[in-house]
Structure 1
Amino acid sequence: MNRVILAVAGGRKTQSIVEDCRSCPEGRRILVLGYTTASQHELLTRIRAAGVHGHQVEVMGWFAFLLQHLVRPYLPLLYEGRRLTGLNFEGDPGRYATGIERFLDTDDRAYMLHLAKLAHDVAAASNGAAIDRLEHIYDEIYIDEVQDLGGWDLEIIQLLLKTKLRITMVGDMRQALLSTNIKDPKNKPYRKEKIFNWFQLMEQRKLLSIEQAPTTYRSSQPIATLSDSIFDPSLGYAPTISASTETHEHAGLFTVREADAIEYAQRHEALCLRHSRAVAKHLDLPFMTFGVAKGRTVDHVLIYPTAKALQFLTGGARLEGQAACALYVGVTRAKHSVAFITDQQLLNTTAWTRAPILPKAPGPS
């Protein structure tokens, strides 16, 4: 049965793919797809470290998959005489382009902007040949970070779900900060974190089963509980349970005054996070944005909250959409402590104060 595994941050999503690959029967042919270059590198590194050899498992990017297995072999069936030469990453054919001009530039490179739609159309033009070819090459396909897919990508996934292939997808909608194509109007109601509704629709059609994996092996329970509170319970996410057994002398949720932020960051070697470069420019801290920090694990995190995040943290309205996902990603990077730079007192936090400077012990007389 096809399945989508929705795991929380720190839930060993990628590791679950690696373990499945390692335990697969001899001769089983597996394709593992990742969206970002970083995720592909991480998958390949871990799979090799687990002793799984390349003849069993192949790691590929999502765009490379669409090009290599759907568009390139069967493009002439849709557009006679045309051969794919590559991918145009940044080009835009224009809003009113139609026909082949909408999908290929003058050098016959596919526009990334419309690649998924082109792949879908080519697969349809092949009258089942594209899917039959995939079924003869692979037995299983894994898709990592599935929350980053949207638009016509979901139509491609639906095609795959109807094949003989066993499809397994892993992801966390609450970390939906990236997107294969944010301009793609297809499946607009299911963009980013709302992809959960699309999974539910596919489950209703008996094309997959949804498995929630709410255990985090990274963050302590106070951090996990805070991360849960960012989202409305009506969204249906299972409460996060911490299985972390690590302890630390500096653990919990804190507020740090702006005047103390630099000292705090240095003392606890905290990862400093903010929403964008436009935020907290007056503080001389090695900030990283939430999106860039995605995938990292550290002991301590120091966050400069946006005005909306601060309102939520003081008991105001919950965050929604990208604002909620960004704060979730920031909070869940930490294993032991999360601190917010603010002079206000926040709910369920402890105000951090500088430790007193003790006098030096007298030297030998």
Structure 2
Amino acid sequence: MRTNNICYIASAGAGKTTKVVSDAINKANNNSLKKIAIITYTQNNQAHIRTKLENQNMAHKIIVMGWFEFLLKHWIMPFKTTVFPQLINTHLGISPVEGKSGLMRTSNGKTFVTYKKDDFRKKYITPDGNKVYSDKLSELANEVYQRNKLEIIDRLNSIFGYLYFDECQDFVGFDYEIIKLLLTKTDITCVFAGDPRQHTYSTHTTSKYTKYTGDIASFIQENINKRKIYVTIDITTLVESYRCPMCICDFASLVMPQYPKMKSHKTEDSIEEHCMLVRSCDVERYVNQFNPVALIWDSKAMKNVHTSIKQIYNMGAVKGLDFPHIIVYPTSGMLKWIKNISGELADTTRAKLYVAVTRAEISTGIVVPDDYYLPLDSILKFWESKKD
């Protein structure tokens, strides 16, 4: 029974990236004869991990790569001619795709696939023959595996001793097939870390395994650990947030009530700690007092941001970042939900609100209209500036 593979399900600010990096460094310091790699989807997180490794003078011992790079370099490229013999002298790149590639839309709004089922060249490769569509990378990697099963597994086993996957809630669709192969076919120890509540990105658009979107733990339990335990699911090690005070954890837990309540590792010793609503008429005073970073839905919301705020980020782009004070400019859907915590909220909107409010180390302010009202039993209160 294999129990060396592990999947950490974390809370925001619980230190999952720190855990991944420190574990990888520990293995590297124990003179591992095979390579150790940390793999994650977004470029921001790759840069964040590299900085952590450089700060500990370990960047030369541990490989950091993107998920797409891992698929292209270690699954597709070495065996590409078994699917595309004509590309023997071609070094394939990646063609970024938003949505699904290979679709065309008719004048009446219907879509159709532009390639035949067995036309792999047109399905996976751009017309110039030099790039793989990003939304098809993991599917192509699986196709290549079906033709080179022993060769791919032997090659991976000979290269890697440990693979660490950070922000694993970003995996979807055919990514899960690759993960399943790594866990059940190779001798590589795999460590995953993620927070399903922070599923603001997906590696690609897909209709496969939509039940498990952002929820790798459920996929593992229902599709990998059915007859034999290949992976230990750990929901206790990274449960406490080292970033957020309890007042922020309490509200964040309401945003994602289907998961265990967040806990704070911090002792509340700062009078500035709060998670409160800020009326529009009070925003200027709030900004002057706390100098917060603003979090908005997208560039269209820039017009609403107080002019003296110097740092502004999109809510979906701040995973892994933290700031002393933040101020959130919520969408209309978020404002409606805050009035009725048990009400409906779109999954993506809910995830971005969770990410936004948990970026703060000390205080979170949420901007609301002047005439905004709350039920008497609301966990949130209105911020009021102190009188001079």
TM-score (norm 2): 0.84
2:81 corresponds in structure 1 to 76
Does the 8 Å CA contact 2:37/2:164 hold for their aligned counterparts?
A: yes
Q: CA deviation at 1:246?
A: 6.6
- What whole-Å deviation, never above 9, does each CA across 1:158-191 have from its counterpart, x for those lacking one? 1101111111111111111011102x22222222
- What whole-Å deviation, never above 9, does each CA across 1:193-250 have from its counterpart, x for those lacking one? x444213323335231211121110000111111111123xx3x22221112473331
Pick the aligned partner of 1:2 from 5, 9, 12.
Answer: 5
* 1:1-365 matched pairs, under 5 angstroms: 1-24=4-27, 25-28=30-33, 29-52=35-58, 54=60, 56-83=61-88, 84-90=90-96, 92-94=101-103, 95-97=113-115, 98-105=119-126, 106-162=128-184, 163-182=186-205, 184-192=206-214, 194-201=215-222, 202-205=224-227, 206-212=229-235, 213-232=238-257, 235=258, 237-245=259-267, 247-279=269-301, 281-285=303-307, 286=309, 287-316=312-341, 317-342=343-368, 343=370, 344-346=372-374, 347-357=378-388
CA change 1:20–1:345 in 2 (3 A) is same
Q: Distance in 1 between matches of 2:175 and 2:17?
A: 20
Structure 1: state its 5+ residue gaps. 358-365
Q: Distance in 2 between matches of 1:246 and 1:41?
A: 32
Opposite residue 288 of structure 1, the aligned amino acid is Y
Higher mean alpha-carbon deviation, 211-220 vs 42-51, is at 42-51
CA change 1:334–1:340 in 2 (3 A) is same
Q: CA deviation at 1:320?
A: 4.2
- What whole-Å deviation, never above 9, does each CA across 1:40-64 have from its counterpart, x for those lacking one? 111122123223352x421111111
Does the 8 Å CA contact 2:326/2:363 hold for their aligned counterparts?
A: yes
Does the 8 Å CA contact 1:270/1:300 hold for their aligned counterparts?
A: yes
Opposite residue 74 of structure 1, the aligned amino acid is F
Does the 8 Å CA contact 1:87/1:110 hold for their aligned counterparts?
A: yes
SS of residue in 1 equivalent to 2:76: helix
| Corresponding pairs, count | 351
Percentage identity across paired residues of the two chains: 26
SS of residue in 2 equivalent to 1:179: coil
SS of residue in 2 equivalent to 1:319: coil
1:360 corresponds in structure 2 to none
- What whole-Å deviation, never above 9, does each CA across 1:11-64 have from its counterpart, x for those lacking one? 11111111112221212431111111111111122123223352x421111111
Higher mean alpha-carbon deviation, 38-47 vs 336-345, is at 336-345
CA change 1:190–1:41 in 2 (3 A) is same
Q: Distance in 2 between matches of 1:49 and 1:300?
A: 25
Structure 2: state its 5+ residue gaps. 104-112
Q: Distance in 1 between matches of 2:208 and 2:381?
A: 45
Opposite residue 380 of structure 2, the aligned amino acid is T
SS of residue in 1 equivalent to 2:230: coil
CA change 1:173–1:103 in 2 (3 A) is same
Q: CA deviation at 1:132?
A: 0.8
Q: CA deviation at 1:149?
A: 1.2
Does the 8 Å CA contact 1:265/1:271 hold for their aligned counterparts?
A: no
Q: CA deviation at 1:312?
A: 2.5
SS of residue in 1 equivalent to 2:85: coil
SS of residue in 1 equivalent to 2:295: strand
Opposite residue 6 of structure 1, the aligned amino acid is I
CA change 1:225–1:115 in 2 (3 A) is same
CA change 1:141–1:290 in 2 (3 A) is same
SS of residue in 1 equivalent to 2:149: coil
Higher mean alpha-carbon deviation, 128-137 vs 303-312, is at 303-312
Does the 8 Å CA contact 1:231/1:320 hold for their aligned counterparts?
A: no
- What whole-Å deviation, never above 9, does each CA across 1:113-162 have from its counterpart, x for those lacking one? 21111111112211320111010011111111111111111111111011
Higher mean alpha-carbon deviation, 169-178 vs 303-312, is at 303-312
Q: Distance in 2 between matches of 1:89 and 1:169?
A: 26
TM-score (norm 1): 0.89
Opposite residue 326 of structure 1, the aligned amino acid is K
Higher mean alpha-carbon deviation, 133-142 vs 91-100, is at 91-100
- What whole-Å deviation, never above 9, does each CA across 1:53-78 have from its counterpart, x for those lacking one? 52x42111111111111111001122
Q: Distance in 1 between matches of 2:96 and 2:49?
A: 26
Does the 8 Å CA contact 1:21/1:52 hold for their aligned counterparts?
A: no
SS of residue in 2 equivalent to 1:204: coil
